[in-house]
Amino acid sequence: MPIFVVQKHDARRLHYDFRLEVDGVLRSWAVPRGPSTDPADKRLAVPVDDHALDYADFEGVIEQGSYGAGAVIVWDTGEYENAGRRPMPEALAAGHAVFRLEGKKLRGRWALQRVAEDRWLLIKAADEHADRERDLLVERPESALTGRAIEELG
């Protein structure tokens, strides 16, 4: 199964980079407020540059003066399954992708929905993994790989 990763990135502003393995690369969206397990929360997701698959486990500090300068941890990682009718590249090209995440923190059905040329929404489906009460960003801020907090890198 293809992988997904969510990297917590303290660049100019703290945000989360949501990445899906598609056609041998990590298709990527910056999610300023991070993913939410509440289906009522529709989180803005802005497309950013694709990354190589070997970037999926990157944790460290990107040097000042470089693109994306700041600390990065792998907030969540796992595999995903396309839950839509179209192959993932076609679904993304059409502006609507549905998938099931099996991560260390995020699980269940999710969708990416394009609402403008460079604006998408990341939405949690109302399934057995949805939770309107929990905020995983607050409860589980640590790296899914090392257990470190992003502040420990700076």
Q: Answer yes or no: is pLDDT of 154 > 70.
A: no
Q: What pLDDT digit, counting tens, does each position of 68-122 carry?
A: 778 999 999 999 999 999 999 999 999 999 999 999 999 999 999 999 989 999 9
Query: Quick check: 61 and 33 in contact, CB under 8 A?
Result: no
pLDDT score, position 22: 98
pLDDT score, position 93: 97
pTM for this entry = 0.95
Q: Answer yes or no: is pLDDT of 144 > 90.
A: yes
Task: Phi first, then psi: give them for residue 92, nearest 5 degrees.
Answer: -65, -40
Q: What pLDDT digit, counting tens, does each position of 28-73 carry?
A: 999 999 999 999 999 999 999 999 999 999 999 888 877 777 899 9
pLDDT score, position 68: 79
Q: What residues contact residue 13 under an 8 Å CB cut-off, 6+ apart?
A: 32
